Amino acid sequence: MNQDLKKEKSAREAFNLIEPELMKDSVIGIGTGTTTNFFIKELNKAKIQIKGVVCSSNASENLVDNSYDKFSLNEVHGIDFYIDGADEFNDRKELIKGGGGALTREKILAYSSNKFICIVDESKHVNLLGQFPLPVEVIELARSAVSRELMKMGGKPIYRHGFVTDNGNQIVDIHNLPIEVPYDLEAKINNIPGVVENGIFSCRKADAIICTTDNDISVIQ
């Protein structure tokens, strides 16, 4: 089974999982990335009656069918279900996200949700987070200063040239950074002046992970 088919199956399973609990006043949060795009396709096909959606990126919002109302987070009281992918996950449902550059908005929506469902295939599973370079969103003025601090932590920061987030900021990807205690490192990086957010999702980890393999689909809760 190729990777796209696995992503599609995980996305379909996520939709089937939440559909019985959706009501007319429900709000769905939608992340960013290729896996999430498959969930958007399922949502568009279903044309269910809900209050609407909140998306973490302009790219995702543009893919959602116009039959759904699209809100900013400021326009709703909260998010019932947040659906997103991940670049890595471990057995504790901690994640690295932000390969698509939307990590700050993704984390805000995850924090604002009643249930965060992460959809992945088994290639994203790791025992120790950090094999995927850790994205850090930074204010342009502080990029070099932040990078120096991250080097002191043992990482190799590489500026993502030409990329600007939807918030107007820049991304530094941190290679070879040991993430032995994700909860502590998430907070430590965010305490560096000039850091907007980093891609460790440990303080707000996933509530459930739907993972597709060649043979089956598992729901980790």
Taken in order 186, 189, 193, 196, is the CA torsion positive or negative? negative
Six-digit token string for 133: 């370079």
Backbone angles phi, psi at 104, to 5 degrees: -65, -50
Asked if residue 59 lies in contact with residue 85, where contact means CB atoms within 8 angstroms, the answer is no
Asked if residue 102 lies in contact with residue 201, where contact means CB atoms within 8 angstroms, the answer is no
Asked if residue 118 lies in contact with residue 206, where contact means CB atoms within 8 angstroms, the answer is yes
E-strand spans in 19-91?
Answer: 27-30, 52-55, 70-71, 79-84, 88-89
> How many CA atoms, within 13 angstroms, populate the side-chain half-sphere of residue 151?
9
Active site residues: 106
Taken in order 98, 194, 159, 134, is the CA torsion positive or negative? negative
CA angle 173-177-179, nearest 5°?
A: 115
Concatenating the DSSP letter of every residue in 72-108 gives: -GGGSS-EEEEEE--SEE-TT--EE--TTS-HHHHHH
